[in-house]
Amino acid sequence: MSAPQRRPPGPRPPATRGSASPARRRSPALRVEDPVAGPDPAALAQRLTAIRHELLEASAGWQPWAEGRDPYRDASARNLLQYLALRRHDLRALQDPLLTLGVSSLGRSEGHVQATVDAVIDALTALSGSPAPPRVDDAPITLSRSRGLLASRTQELLGPGAPGRTTRIMVTMPTEAAQDGGLVLEMLLAGMNCMRINCAHDGPDEWQAMCENLRWAHAQTNRRARIHVDLPGPKLRTGPVASQPARDGKGEHLRLSVGDRLTLVREGARARKQGDAQRTPRMCCSLPEAFAATRPGHHVWFDDGKIGGVVEAVDADSIEVAITAAKAKGAKLRPGKGINLPDAVLEIDLLGAHSAEALAFAVARADIVGLSFVSHASEVKHVHTYLDGHGRPELGIVLKIETRRAFERLPGLLLAALAGGRPAGVMIARGDLAVECGYERLAEVQEEILWLSEAAHMPVIWATEVLDRLASTGRPSRAEITDAAMGVRAECVMLNKGPQIADAIRVLDDILRRMHQHQAKKRSLLRRLRASDYSHTPPPAASARTPRARVG
């Protein structure tokens, strides 16, 4: 008799027609609070017990992976699935009644969902005077184990933290770091924990020189920093101006205003179309796949959202764009600037020819490889296979979440990263995300990424424009100081390059050390405050006051 065929790891297939869909199921609507008597512990316990059943169903279909380097990855996967099941409910109506009764409102349950729900049900049951409910289904992970797991995975991926702060600092290397070992040494002494090499810039010789300078700085200081290599990903950028270029001290450009038209053409197409009476300015586009993926009505953004437009027409060699967003006096668009197509579905091999050189370098020298523009779980699996095949099972990966589709598919990407059994993390690439999802949604989006990553016990890198003004000019804005302080909720904060980068590292190091005493993820840490030394002196009693003179 043959053995039963084992289903591959992962959640079960979606429910068939006629079965209850987890996304649509809701626990019964109960009255959990009386306007006079207050919250009803028994009703709240009943509501949460129904939700608990959904948590168990969500994780029951998970088929464990084979044992690997990380023995807790199945627990993380099940906890993530339970968190998604919990968040299918709008829990706001429960949270105030729970707080009123002095129990958890579930607002910090990301890393230990079932354990939190179980603890709340137990507390409510005790308050109602009922016997404790019998249980046979243990939570995938406890509160203390979840925190320890996130801390150990962070150290495995990003290296040890600095004394006095647990949040690491990652710094993007400028080209000068290839020639100036002293600059790398200064950054290391200022507090850098990870060197980031962006392989969209420079070349293998410069990347190698940066690593050699870091090794030299290690020897001078006895400090260490991990090497993070970002794959360049598909280069969707503006190319040369194909017609009517203007010039200034920085080179050729087009000045575009709202109401203008722009034609994107394939690189190398310099000639104007026949019969183009309006003399529409033309600029090359570096990615041939963009012409097949774009449709009329799609939005297009240039240069990190500085210029926006809507596609009016597309053919095999051109994309006609109506400009709908730009500065009042117009904005300059130069070659080499990024193009975002948030509505287009670009199917490009993450490990294609554009990444081959950088990937080979990462295998040889890196501790971490950043997956730029990743959007499919299959791409993550492909990277695992490639790295294992090249003898680097310990090489960490970072999912760079920089497109709307990557954000929408984040749960699947997290599960695929866990599947590899190697160190893994998530980077919130806020620049591209703001363009793709809309600036007004950025705060909400980055919160969701933090929640989901914590549910998977995966470290997060808080990136893009942190202390940018300080790194560029030496003077920070007030807003970027508070933004940097919010970075303590992540496991690592990334700084971009700039002439004052060493000062920016020192300031960020100081901010993170201070915030480390007050904040851990979403939890406020209640250390002793100096303001508590205030001693209130009551005013004199009424009888001791000097009577006022009567008038008249």
List, for residues 463-496, the tens digit of each pLDDT value.
989 999 999 999 999 999 999 999 999 999 999 9
- Give me the phi and psi of 183, to 5 degrees please: -65, -45
Q: How far apart are CA 106 and CA 95, in angstroms?
A: 7
pLDDT interval class at 550 (50, 70, 90): low
Q: Which two tokens stand for residue 94?
A: 């429960």
| CA distances for 421 relative to 72, 254, 351, 398, angstroms | 10, 48, 20, 13
CA distance 60 to 194: 39
pLDDT at position 151 over 50: yes
Residue 76 to residue 80: CA distance in whole angstroms: 6
Structure tokens at 501: 């980068």
Report whether pLDDT(11) > 90.
no
Q: What is the pLDDT of residue 543?
A: 61
Find out whether 446 and 402 touch, Cβ atoms under 8 Å: no
Lowest mean pLDDT among 53-67, 262-276, 395-409: 262-276
> Which of 4 and 77 is assigned the larger pLDDT?
77
Q: Enter the tokens of residue 53.
A: 């059943």
Burial class (CB in 10 A: 0-12, 13-18, 19+), 289: middle
Domains with residue ranges and CATH for the chain: 33-141 (no CATH), 148-234+348-523 (3.20.20.60), 238-340 (2.40.33.10)
Percent pLDDT > 70 in the chain is: 89
Distance of CA 294 to the CA centre of its chain: 26
* Distance of alpha carbon 260 from the chain centroid: 35
From residue 427, alpha-carbon distances to 177, 284, 437 in Å are 23, 30, 16
Helix (H) or strand (E) holding 74: helix 73-86
Q: Is 373 left (phi over 0), alpha (psi -120 to 50) or beta?
A: left
Residue 546 banded pLDDT, cuts 50, 70, 90:
low
Average pLDDT of the residues in 234-238 = 85
Q: Flag whether pLDDT at 504 surpasses 80.
A: yes
Q: How confident is the model at residue 31 (pLDDT cuts 50, 70, 90)?
A: low
From CA 121, how far away is CA 118, in angstroms rounded? 5
Query: To 10 degrees, the CA torsion angle through 420, 21, 401, 204?
Result: 30
Q: What is the pTM of this model?
A: 0.86
Cα→Cα distances 205→209, 228, 395, 439, Å: 6, 16, 22, 37
pLDDT for the residue numbered 28: 47
Q: What is the pLDDT of residue 7?
A: 42
pLDDT at position 547 is 58
Q: Determine which of 9-18, 251-260, 392-401, 526-535 has the lowest per-residue pLDDT on average.
A: 9-18
Residue 524 has pLDDT above 60, yes or no: yes
Of residues 33 and 431, which shows the higher confidence score?
431
Residues 6 or more apart from 206 whose CB is under 8 A from it?
175, 178
pLDDT of residue 351: 80
Least confident span in 163-167, 392-396, 436-440, 464-468: 436-440
DSSP β-bridge partners for residue 311: 321
129-133, 425-429, 447-451: which has the minimum mean pLDDT? 129-133
Q: List the structure tokens of 72.
A: 């807790």
- Which residues fall within 8 angstroms of residue 461, CB to CB, at 6 or more apart? 170, 398, 425, 426, 427, 428, 490, 491, 492, 493, 494
Q: What is the mean pLDDT of residues 135-153?
A: 93
Question: What pLDDT band is residue 13 in, cutting at 50, 70 and 90?
Answer: very low
Structure confidence at residue 280 as a pLDDT band (50, 70, 90):
confident
Evaluate whether 141 touches 454 at the Cβ level (below 8 Å): no
pLDDT in the model for residue 521 = 82
- Split at pLDDT 50, 70, 90, the class of 223 is very high
Mean pLDDT of all residues in 212-241: 93
On the question of pLDDT at 530 being above 90, the answer is no
Residues with Cβ < 8 Å from 85, sequence gap 6 or more?
A: 22, 51, 54, 55, 57, 58, 59
Residue of 289 and 455 predicted with greater confidence: 455
Query: What is the overall mean pLDDT for the chain?
Result: 88
> Could you count the other beta carbons within 10 Å of the beta carbon of residue 121?
23
| pLDDT above 90 (res 549) | no
Task: Indicate if the alpha-carbon torsion angle 449, 451, 457, 462 is positive or negative.
Answer: positive
Q: Indicate the range of 72-76, 232-236, 383-387 predicted with least confidence.
A: 232-236
Residue 2 above 50 pLDDT? no
C-alpha 481/C-alpha 117 separation (Å) is 36
